Structure 1
Amino acid sequence: MTALQTAARKGNIELVQLLLKAGADVNAPAERDTGDTALQAAAKSGKIELVQYLLQVGADVNAPASYYYGQTALQVAAEQGDVEMVRLLLEAGADVSGSPAYKYGRTGIQKAATNGNIEVVQLLLGAGADVNDMPTEDGGFTALQAAGLRGNINMVQFLIEVGADINAPPAGNAGFTALQAAAQRDDIGMVQLLLESGADVNALPANRLGRTALQSAAENGKIEIVQLLLEAQADIHAPPSDEDGLTLIEAAVSGRNVELVKLLLDANADVNSSGNGYEGTALQMATSFENIEMVQALLRAGADVNAPGRFTALQAAARRGNIKLVQLLLEAGADLNAAAADFEGQTVLQAAVQNGSVKLVQFLLEAGADVNAPPAIINGRTALQKAAEQCDIEMVQLLLRSNTDVNAPPAYDKGRTALQAAARHGRIEIVELLLKEGANVNASPAYKWGKTALQVAAELGNLELVDYLLDANADVNMPAAHVAGVTALQAASIKGYFGITLRLLKNQADVNAPGAVENGRTALEGAAAHGRIDLVQLLLNAGIDIHGEGKDVHCERAIELALNEGHHAIARLLRARRDTSRNHPIPEDHLIHPVLDEYPVPDDRLAQDSHPVLDNYPASDDHPVLNNPPVPDGHLALSDYFVLYDNMTLDECPVLNNPPVPDSHLALSDPFVPDDNMTLNEYLFLDQHRVLDEYSVLNDYPVLDDQLAQGNHLLDNHPASDNYPVLYNPPVPDSLDDNMNLDEYPVLDQYQVLDEYPVLNNYPVPDYQLVQDHLILDNHPASDDYAVLNNHLVPYDHSVLGGYPADYPVPADHLGLEDNMFHAYGRES
């Protein structure tokens, strides 16, 4: 919409004048589908003086309407019932028969009749308008039909008097004759007027969604109008419309008026006549409504109890869980085992299972329902598959006792076996039950988006279920489904489930398994695309092959996917791995720890027996992360978490690499060197690494505050207290003073990393004394929300995270964040 059109729509004449003086085109065309010219927009504003001004400056009074809902200026004025504006536009030469919008347009006289303003209609007729202008195909109406639909009996009477065709055919799409419209409205006075004026009581309905007058009245449940139309010889056997039509008896059932249904049946309406609507036969519809009296009336009249459809009557009753209706229909001869319709149909038993009525299912089984009847071809499920999908363990048990096929395959290309369905919902008790009954844990997945039970469990992150299925001999390397499938390892890698990925790797999951043929990803590609840097490193360590024929392509794809999603650190990691020789030695300067390297630990304390890969590192004797014995396996569990070998390089060992262990924990220089150009966003990945908790020797070791022994500067009952030089070399006083300041507490000056030492965590150092290099720390009595607070700027809003905008340079020493820091400040990765 142009500026001029917008100003006109708002009725702002001063702005319109200003824009025209500036050269705006008064006749700029409207937007194709729904726009207005300036004159059309002005007419909608109702400002007659603006319309008059635009006409004076040359606005085209007959500019065409836009495609969908557009209107000429005259049509707008007629719809609004604005007599003066209609008169003005006619005097300016407006075409009284101007073409309406192609899709949903109305002529001026149709608009005026809809509005109900007889004076406007008279003006238009006086100017030559055709009272019988035909409607568009998309739900349009003649003037008389529009007035009938609005229930304006005075307008209807006037239009008939001036020659309106009372039997003009309806528009093809959802149109009505005047009589059909009146019958639909339940307007008995209008119906009588039209019948007396010669309306055809049996006029054919519109092709789509059409109804005869009698069908319309019956659908609305209006017995008086039905009787009036029958007296006028309405055809009770008139066929339904071509699309979504209803026969008379179906329409009456739809109206839910039992007395009307009985009246029509007494008038010999065909009880088994069938339209082409979605609802089914009259009996099927009545059953769906659970109207027992109506069902009985239809059955007495000879309704076919086994008529086919989307659902038979009995299937419909079972879907409702109505055991009385089920019994009634069975007594009437309903087929208990009628086949399910191809498209989303259900057998009686399958329908009852979906309803969840164990009582009804038990009744049907005792009556002889086929527990293994095949489901619908499209979106069908066996009774057991549906019960498992609904997590209904009582129903599953009942069906298993009835000898159901526990391994029935999916009926369609997106289906699931019962076991796969139970796994999808994480119901381990149902999985266990099905496996005990012989369910195939390795049943093939469906062609599209299918997954084995193990693949589903991995995708959901359900470690308990993964373990259970592995113990049940689930094949960890079942291939991915053809379309958008995943192997178990690919699913876990894409979702970022580190523990499950490790479990699968321990069970020999193939890290090099191809992705699905269509819309697939390898494990590496999936992890890279979803920003799972820890899993990318883990997969690399597990021996993923990114070299050789065809393999470089997968690595390049992973890099490309990572870059497309903004995961630049992953792209750098993959490029470094791609370009690094597996036999390149780890240089000595890669083992640099700025805080604790100066404290040597005797060789006999070096924990190398269980980690032989560390033997040959030149700085191992001086590196506290590697040699603080005894380090429990839970804190540095290399053998449990990573594949190690003698020639492993820096890039291949996450313990020795910077991510996922930040600099403050393990300060290594290559290949990720934090610098002043790195922003907070580039380090958001640190928070998500589960590995961080496994290497918490420096900041998360379980030292309790109440275990601090000031006398000897050691920790009571702590297995590694001798190996924490920060706790025994600085002169920590035996008692702490509320007036202590930082100058009296040299541990702060000597060591850069403040939050790693529990000595300070809960001592009441006054807030105003927490000053270092003239930088105010957070108003926090324990300072434990800050990993690094020395030799870098701390904003005066006292928030390391909250104070930094996302693109603010973050110094390297800020990177020693605890695992919960991002959550504490609302910045989740």
Structure 2
Amino acid sequence: MLKSILDRAFLEIDGQKATWDQMLRFSLSAAVLRSPIEHVLKIGHPINVCDDMTDGKLADWKLLPDIPTPGLGKGWNYTPLAAAILGGNTITVRTLIDYGIQAVSFRVHGTSHEYNSYATTSDYRHGWILTPLAAAAVTNDVPLCKEILRIGADPFDNSALLLCSVIGSREEFVALLISAFKARYPDGAQSFGSDALYNVIRGDNLRLLKLLAKDGDLTGPVEKDRGGEGPPYSRSDIVFTSPLGQAVLQHAERQGAGEALDYLLPLVKDLNAIVHRTYRHGSMTPLLYAISLGSLATVQKLHQAGADISLPAKWLIPRTPLQAAAQAGSKDIVEYLLNQGIISNESPADRAGATALQLAAITGKIGVATVLLDAGAEINAPPAFGDGRTAFEGATEHGRIEMMIFLVSRGADLLSNGSVQYRRAVEFAEDNAQHAARKLADELYGKVSASQGPSFIDMGADAWAGVGASGFENFL
């Protein structure tokens, strides 16, 4: 019989069956009733549980202000003690606390991106837990927060910090949580306060930022707030961002006037950490993110603060800064990096990599390609090992007609090694339905072949450049 009661979470009260959440609601509405809650606990009903306040059962129970959960998770999951705190029922709060530390032992270490906030006895991967500390933050009950911490609550509570950042006027509460966190985690911890930091940066709340930034994780991945646009679960190009990523974004958007980035840079432990990721560009460091945003001012600030402008392309980071700038078509950033001593022929990543010139060719940026060639970029550099393209192949595959003509005029070799570059370019154009580019490739190939004369012998990539130049110029 007891097992059945526990399994179904039902009680017999005054001859009526009631679920745990109904019992708690009843208790909150009648502050003098302590015995029903005690009865629930004495028979062994678990109190370390959560109720989803958006599933219809408790949708009419308005305890929390209109504060959405971050990211695309479900609504808040309430613990009994948190609901009692929000309901203002001190008798129920006292009763639950008197029944032990388990009532406050929820663990909320995850961020909105990780979706792994969960209770110690249940797995709530699709919603945030509104912990007792978070409820105390909403009610701004600092003495209750101190008591909950005293009886064992984990101060590493991203839920409570997030709510403080949303409400925006909880400096004393945040300071108390951070003090307890530092005592319990003297070496710090990954993801601590990341969502809260992201939120205060977005809201330009420098007071809370200065409280959180020294101990919070500035590079912890969080779900980017999309402002309620689109369907609830529509796909965004952004996989995740971070507090530091948001600071870089605001600095770039405000043309170098982002106060948050100025404050954070001296606190950042690794300026080459990944802070932003998209499906299109992959993982990005602060510098690479600033480049993708086209902000020279932000690039310069990050470089002066110690960001590595010569970071090599590798598996997780597929572009060097110069390659990323060429791909983005940012001529001013390309020139800045070259003037800082970056070589124009940096090695590409092994898979789907490309040199800076190859990327400029693929995207059709003739101005960037000119700067790179003038700096010594190799126009006939071989393709990367996996899914690579030469500059001419990339331009042809993507239908960059003007770029194709420009590259041949600057020495792209369509003849050597059995005309391999021409043949591959034609195949790529056909596969990509670039019929005009395919036709132009044939015409260019015919022209440069004729310029070599009927007795042409393959002399390597550099031998034919300039031969018949006047005739080729007339063709252009």
TM-score (normalised: structure 2): 0.64
Distance in 2, matches of 1:444 and 1:432, equals 19
How many Å apart are 1:412 and its aligned residue? 9.3
Distance in 1, matches of 2:131 and 2:429, equals 58
Match of 2:40 among 219, 234, 245: 234
Distance in 2, matches of 1:358 and 1:571, equals 56
Residue 499 of structure 1 pairs with residue 367 of structure 2 = yes
Q: Structure 2 regions of 5+ residues with no counterpart?
A: 53-72, 107-118, 223-238, 252-256, 454-463
User: Highest CA radius of gyration, 1 or 2?
Assistant: 1
**Could you report, residue by residue, the CA deviation over 1:676-710 in whole angstroms, capped at 9, with x for unpaired residues?**
xxxxxxxxxxxxxxxxxxxxxxxxxxxxxxxxxxx
Q: Where does residue 274 of structure 2 map in the other structure? A: 410
Match of 2:190 among 340, 361, 365: 340
- Secondary structure of 2:359's counterpart equals helix
Q: Structure 1 regions of 5+ residues with no counterpart?
A: 1-166, 171-175, 184-190, 202-212, 587-642, 659-829
Match of 1:324 among 165, 172, 191: 172
Q: Where does residue 394 of structure 1 map in the other structure? A: 259
Which letter maps to 1:259?
G
Which letter maps to 2:36?
L
Residue 357 of structure 1 pairs with residue 214 of structure 2 = no
Residue 300 of structure 1 pairs with residue 119 of structure 2 = no
Listed as ranges, the matches of 1:32-43 within 5 Å are none
Structure 2 contact 49–80 (Cα < 8 Å) conserved = no
Structure 1 contact 461–497 (Cα < 8 Å) conserved = yes
**Could you report, residue by residue, the CA deviation over 1:624-655 in whole angstroms, capped at 9, with x for unpaired residues?**
xxxxxxxxxxxxxxxxxxx97242375xx4x5
Distance in 2, matches of 1:420 and 1:525, equals 26
Distance in 1, matches of 2:387 and 2:337, equals 26
- Secondary structure of 2:451's counterpart equals coil
How many Å apart are 1:429 and its aligned residue? 1.5
Which letter maps to 1:388?
V
Distance in 2, matches of 1:437 and 1:285, equals 36
Match of 1:196 among 15, 20, 28: 15
Listed as ranges, the matches of 1:370-385 within 5 Å are 375-376=219-220
- Secondary structure of 2:140's counterpart equals helix
- Secondary structure of 2:303's counterpart equals helix
Which letter maps to 1:427?
S
**Could you report, residue by residue, the CA deviation over 1:373-408 in whole angstroms, capped at 9, with x for unpaired residues?**
7844898888655532442632332334x3645743
The structure richer in helix per residue is 2
Structure 1 contact 305–313 (Cα < 8 Å) conserved = no
Distance in 1, matches of 2:166 and 2:244, equals 16
Distance in 2, matches of 1:415 and 1:434, equals 17
Which letter maps to 1:440?
D
Which letter maps to 1:492?
A
Distance in 2, matches of 1:245 and 1:430, equals 36
Which letter maps to 1:432?
Q
**Could you report, residue by residue, the CA deviation over 1:717-750 in whole angstroms, capped at 9, with x for unpaired residues?**
xxxxxxxxxxxxxxxxxxxxxxxxxxxxxxxxxx
Distance in 1, matches of 2:26 and 2:474, equals 79
Structure 2 contact 78–129 (Cα < 8 Å) conserved = no
Residue 564 of structure 1 pairs with residue 440 of structure 2 = no
Q: 1:338 to 1:331 in 2, by over 3 A?
A: closer
Listed as ranges, the matches of 1:669-818 within 5 Å are none
How many Å apart are 1:534 and its aligned residue? 0.9
How many Å apart are 1:424 and its aligned residue? 2.0
Q: Where does residue 28 of structure 2 map in the other structure? A: 223
How many Å apart are 1:464 and its aligned residue? 2.3
Which letter maps to 2:347?
P
Q: 1:422 to 1:476 in 2, by over 3 A?
A: same
Number of equivalences = 391
How many Å apart are 1:532 and its aligned residue? 0.7
Q: 1:649 to 1:387 in 2, by over 3 A?
A: same
Q: Where does residue 404 of structure 2 map in the other structure? A: 536
Structure 1 contact 286–295 (Cα < 8 Å) conserved = no
- Secondary structure of 2:263's counterpart equals helix
Identity %: 21
Listed as ranges, the matches of 1:139-178 within 5 Å are none
How many Å apart are 1:513 and its aligned residue? 3.4
**Could you report, residue by residue, the CA deviation over 1:336-358 in whole angstroms, capped at 9, with x for unpaired residues?**
863114xx973987776566433
How many Å apart are 1:427 and its aligned residue? 1.9
Q: Where does residue 312 of structure 2 map in the other structure? A: 444
Distance in 1, matches of 2:407 and 2:105, equals 65
How many Å apart are 1:472 and its aligned residue? 2.1
Which letter maps to 1:570?
A
Q: 1:433 to 1:229 in 2, by over 3 A?
A: same
Q: Where does residue 337 of structure 2 map in the other structure? A: 469
Q: 1:271 to 1:542 in 2, by over 3 A?
A: same
How many Å apart are 1:259 and its aligned residue? 1.6
Structure 1 contact 271–303 (Cα < 8 Å) conserved = no
TM-score (normalised: structure 1): 0.40
Distance in 2, matches of 1:255 and 1:494, equals 61
Distance in 1, matches of 2:156 and 2:402, equals 57
